[in-house]
Amino acid sequence: MILIISGTNRPNSKTFKIAKCYQQLLNRKSIENEILSLSDLPPNILETDLYGRRSTAFEPIQQKVSDAEMFIFIAPEYNGSIPGALKLFIDCCTFPISFYHKKVALVGLSSGRYGNIRGIDHLTGICHYLRMHVLPLKIFLPHVQNELDDKGELFKEDTLQFINEQIEEIARF
């Protein structure tokens, strides 16, 4: 099963909309997947789930992570990197079994011109440290606000072509 991580805790984010688009494309290929939105993290996670502690609220999230065979991290740009909520989520997951030797595909997005290229580089380093197998084809979505139509769906042919190419590689990965 592929776990799609919507990498921000911001409610109603474009990141979540992109995660839903990925889910639809995976569903069309009958690839089992689920979305985990970081907006669903326990509000007091900083106090309850770091340094080996585990709250009952985080247990089902940890179970989804443990059960996943592959991840798609969709990470918006926050201050030139990834959101703190995404790093906190990774830090709260049981180490090392949550991510070691699992596969991951990375997608960056931003409202600016680079599509979070720097943040995805940072996230790649984290994934390598966790001994994850990173899909070489990474997607960057600059000016993400121009990529989604009124229904929150991707509509640009070239963007869909690149994402479909990544989905094909995910299926073979």
Write the CATH number for 76: 3.40.50.360
Task: Answer whether 130's CB lies under 8 Å from 99's CB.
Answer: yes
* pLDDT tens track for 151-168: 999 999 999 999 999 999
Q: Which amino acid is at 139?
A: I
Task: Answer whether 126's CB lies under 8 Å from 90's CB.
Answer: yes
Task: Answer whether 62's CB lies under 8 Å from 1's CB.
Answer: no
Residue 52 confidence (pLDDT): 85
**Across the chain, what does the average pLDDT equal?**
96
% the chain with pLDDT above 70: 100
Q: How confident is the model at residue 118 (pLDDT cuts 50, 70, 90)?
A: very high
Report the number of distinct structural domains present in the chain: 1
* pLDDT tens track for 3-45: 999 999 999 999 999 999 999 999 999 999 999 999 999 999 9
Residue range 93-99: mean pLDDT, rounded = 94
Q: Which residues form the domain of 70?
A: 2-172
